[in-house]
Amino acid sequence: MNGVTPATASRAIWWICLAAILVLALNVARRAPQIGELLMAGDGDDLTRLQQVRDWLAGQSWFDTTQYRILPPEGVSIHWSRYVDLGIAAFLVPASWVLSQTGAEHFAIILWPTFLGCLAVLVIGFANNRLLGPAAAVGALVTFLTWGKLGGEFAAGRIDHHNVQILCATVVFYLSVLPGRRGRLGVMAGAMTALCLVVGLEMLPFLAVLWGMMVLRHAFAEDGIDRWLIGFCAAFAITAPLLLAGQTPMSGWWIRYCDVMAPPLLALAGIGIVATLVPVVFARALPHPVARIGVALGLTGAGIWLAAPLLTPCLAGPYAATTPEVRLVIATRIIEALSAPMLLETRPELLLRALMPPAVIGLLALGAAWAMRDRLAQPLRIALVQSFVVVAVGFALALVQIRAANLMTPALPLLAGFLVHAFTTIPREHRLRAPAALALILAIPAVLESGARLIGGPPELPVLPADGTTRSAIAASASVAFCRNATAMAEIASLPPSTVFSSGNLAPAIMVFTPHAVTSAGYHRSTAAFENGLLAFDSRERLQKSLASSRADYLVICVGFAEERFIDSLATGGWPDWLQEETGERKTIRVFRINKAALERAGVAP
């Protein structure tokens, strides 16, 4: 560690982590005064999560995550974990003893992600310090704090489950590369993997890759990995069913869901456990790596074949229950589901901000590792290889669907930390010292993201095509520049308590900031809610059908946006008698009462 004593390094890492936590606190102080506006204009999933917590604290069953204010009275199944609700409530409930309900909610949505961010700082800081020293910890934490795809998930107001998943996956990653008592590390990794998956399956590809790499490390007889795998498998086998039972009613234990921890995932995990432990138990009989890998692959293949009736329905992914049309819309209109080529055409700055940091840091780290290949200790070499594989797999999947960039988040800070470590090994008088320092500065994610905005340009609001169709209407609705604000919410709240039909962008805010129920939501378990928010404004016939089936009382649209232009275009074929405008003095929205009797006369029934 370049002359740094263990005692000095131990003290230094505490100061480094404290400085990083101070940065988090400063960001909180900057965002806190506007937290209400930020929440209102923010991600719809954060809003829906807040409503789910409200409903639970108001008396809805722990085991019932149906959102009854979407498409009432049946509601929509929200497949999110109650364990995240519990964490948010741990801040909200005590705050409600001394603050108003709104104040307590603001306190919770600020402190919960900040608390998770502090935990992430400690994990990343101490792990990189253990592997590479204090300088590496600084590099890793700078990457965490300045890459929007990583640190941004821990910003005040982000209460969706992605930050919990990233934190859990990060812990598992470092437990797989840190030195120590392998069995204990494996037990902790297995339990944390179960928690990560019970919260959601988004990090499943990362966890599967990591698991597979640990199996390969055992195949090549790395010392202690057998104990790690035994501990991992045992902990997962015990913890996963317990966590499942803790948030799922007994009647749902055997339902074959593909989007949550359920029998298909547990069956797949069981196959993995058997395929992992057999080569471990019979290691003496299988001394050669090829034999161990072959047995693991053979058992995996046989297990998948036997479990095919359970697993095959899940091959279509979490959207299997939706219509082909909705799946096409998700793939072409939902930003987080877009591919790199589509984003390059429509949102180049977003694509570059997400992928430039891992690309630059990964390539620079690869070059540094190659230059230092003869000086790297075996444990560090293994940690780097594992990091490169994780980042490469995540990057490849992100080219197909941009939200897969999250899969790179556990490993990228380690590569950044290694870059700083490599820099410290360059003598001060060496001619490469200055270029290396410049490269480090340019590799800071904040610098790269600024460059991405410069190259890709600022995000532009989509406009309605000249032919009058509304193909871009949903994309336009992604902007919060108009109706996701206090004025619009107050105008909507002034309506009598009712069910309001709106775009998918507007619905979560209506649900949280007004007393009304809504009809649209971007949740794949309800095709109707998806279609109401995504497709209803594509044609007169679709709107008519959606209004009837949703049993909505009012249609609300934003002034000056694509939906308004579509509604105005209805007059071309004769204004429909099933819409009666009641906008009145409202300025930011237009309101139409839905004449259900006229819809029935038109032959459209709920």
| Span 542-568, pLDDT tens digits | 999 999 999 999 999 998 888 888 999
Please name the amino acid found at residue 95.
A
Task: Say yes or no: 442 and 488 in one domain.
Answer: no
* pLDDT exceeds 70 at position 220: yes
Region 267-296: mean pLDDT is 96
Q: Which of 188-197, 333-342, 348-357, 426-435 has the largest mean confidence?
A: 188-197
Residue 9 lies in a domain: no
pLDDT band at 606 (very low <50, low <70, confident <90, very high): low
Task: Say yes or no: 512 and 442 in one domain.
Answer: no
Asked whether the beta carbons of 410 and 383 are under 8 A apart, the reply is no
Residue 321: predicted pLDDT: 67
Q: pLDDT digits over 522-537, tens only?
A: 888 888 998 898 889 9
Cα–chain-centroid distance for residue 500?
28
Asked whether the beta carbons of 318 and 201 are under 8 A apart, the reply is yes
pTM for the predicted model, two decimal places: 0.93
* pLDDT exceeds 60 at position 446: yes
- Could you identify the residue written with the tokens 């009989």? 285
* pLDDT exceeds 60 at position 462: no
Listed in sequence order, the DSSP H helices in 147-201 are 162-177, 182-199
Residue 8: predicted pLDDT: 61
Percent of the chain past pLDDT 90, that is, above it, reads 75
Residue 523: predicted pLDDT: 83
Q: pLDDT digits over 478-491, tens only?
A: 444 568 899 999 99
The string of DSSP codes covering 47-85 is HHHHHHHHHHHTT--TT--EETTBSTTT-EE----HHHH
Q: Tell me the pairing of strands 589-594 and 66-67.
A: unpaired
Task: Say yes or no: 494 and 456 in one domain.
Answer: no
* pLDDT exceeds 60 at position 342: yes
- Looking at every residue in the chain, the average pLDDT score rounds to 91
Q: pLDDT digits over 376-431, tens only?
A: 999 999 999 999 999 999 999 999 999 999 999 999 999 999 999 999 999 998 89
Q: Which of 460, 488, 515 is the last residue of a domain?
A: 460
Length of the chain: 606
pLDDT band at 510 (very low <50, low <70, confident <90, very high): very high
Task: Say yes or no: 451 and 505 in one domain.
Answer: no
DSSP state of 496: P
Phi, psi for 249 (deg, rounded to 5): -65, 150
Closest to 442 measured CA to CA, from 433, 451, 434: 451
Q: pLDDT digits over 83-139, tens only?
A: 999 999 999 999 999 999 999 999 999 999 999 999 999 999 999 999 999 999 999
Residue 455: predicted pLDDT: 87
Task: Say yes or no: 430 and 486 in one domain.
Answer: no
CB burial of residue 529 (10 Å; 0-12, 13-18, 19+): buried
Listed in sequence order, the DSSP H helices in 200-323 are 204-219, 225-247, 263-281, 289-306, 308-311
Instruction: List the end-to-end C-alpha distance of the chain, in Å, as a whole number.
Output: 71
CB burial of residue 242 (10 Å; 0-12, 13-18, 19+): exposed
Residue 324: predicted pLDDT: 79
Asked whether the beta carbons of 343 and 396 are under 8 A apart, the reply is no
The Cα-based distances of 82 to 49, 66, 71, 102, 385 in angstroms read: 10, 12, 21, 21, 36
Domain that holds residue 507: 473-601
Residue 228 lies in a domain: no
Q: Which of 394, 427, 460 is the last residue of a domain?
A: 460
Burial 268-296 (b: 16+ CB within 10 A, else e): bbbbbbebbbbbbeeeeebeeeeebbebb
Residue 460: predicted pLDDT: 52
- Total count of domains within the chain: 2
Cβ neighbours, 10 Å, residue 424: 16
* pLDDT exceeds 70 at position 468: no
Task: Say yes or no: 519 and 413 in one domain.
Answer: no
Task: Say yes or no: 385 and 452 in one domain.
Answer: yes
Q: Is the peptide bond before 318 cis (omega within 30 degrees of 0)?
A: no
Higher pLDDT, 462 or 79: 79
Please name the amino acid found at residue 378.
Q
Residue 102 φ/ψ region, left for φ over 0, alpha for ψ in the -120 to 50 degree band, beta for the rest? alpha
Residue 312 lies in a domain: no
Asked whether the beta carbons of 83 and 9 are under 8 A apart, the reply is no
Q: At what angle do helices 412-424 and 378-400 cross, to 10 degrees?
A: 130
* pLDDT exceeds 70 at position 25: yes
CA dist 589 and 561 (Å) reads 10
Percent of the chain past pLDDT 70, that is, above it, reads 93
Asked whether the beta carbons of 500 and 518 are under 8 A apart, the reply is yes
- Could you identify the residue written with the tokens 């429509």? 346
Residue 346 lies in a domain: yes
Task: Say yes or no: 421 and 514 in one domain.
Answer: no
**Contact residues for 185 (Cβ-Cβ < 8 A; gap 6+):** 175, 176, 178, 228, 231
Task: Say yes or no: 435 and 558 in one domain.
Answer: no
- Could you identify the residue written with the tokens 């929200």? 78
Residue 319: predicted pLDDT: 74
Residue 88 lies in a domain: no
Q: Tell me the pairing of strands 589-594 and 579-581.
A: antiparallel
Q: What would the two tokens of residue 304 be?
A: 């998948």
Residue 451 lies in a domain: yes
Residue 6: predicted pLDDT: 61
Cβ neighbours, 10 Å, residue 65: 21
Task: Say yes or no: 444 and 328 in one domain.
Answer: yes
- Could you identify the residue written with the tokens 């890492």? 13
Task: Say yes or no: 455 and 328 in one domain.
Answer: yes
Phi, psi for 487 (deg, rounded to 5): -65, -50
Residue 584 lies in a domain: yes
Residue 394: predicted pLDDT: 97
Cα–chain-centroid distance for residue 278?
34
Coil, strand or helix at 319: coil
CA dist 8 and 155 (Å) reads 31
Asked whether the beta carbons of 148 and 35 are under 8 A apart, the reply is no
Region 297-311: mean pLDDT is 95
Residue 595 lies in a domain: yes
Q: pLDDT digits over 189-205, tens only?
A: 999 999 999 999 999 99
* pLDDT exceeds 90 at position 227: yes
Q: Which of 460, 492, 511 is the last residue of a domain?
A: 460
**Contact residues for 575 (Cβ-Cβ < 8 A; gap 6+):** none
Task: Say yes or no: 327 and 367 in one domain.
Answer: yes
